[in-house]
Amino acid sequence: MYVWIIGFLLSLFDFSVINTS
């Protein structure tokens, strides 16, 4: 299942956005 992978990538993306902002 790639569901957890998608959630993981989204989490990293959100984390990056929070750091840059």
**Residue pLDDT tens, the chain, 21 long:** 789 999 999 999 988 878 777
Q: How far is the C-alpha of 17 from the C-alpha of 8, rounded, in Å?
A: 14
pLDDT given for residue 18 in this prediction:
80
Q: What is the C-alpha separation between 8 and 2, in angstroms, rounded?
A: 10
The HSE-up count of residue 11 (CA atoms within 13 Å, CB side) is 6
pTM over cut 0.85: no
Residue appearing with tokens 């989490």:
11
d(CA 4, CA 19) in angstroms, rounded, equals 22
pLDDT of residue 4: 93
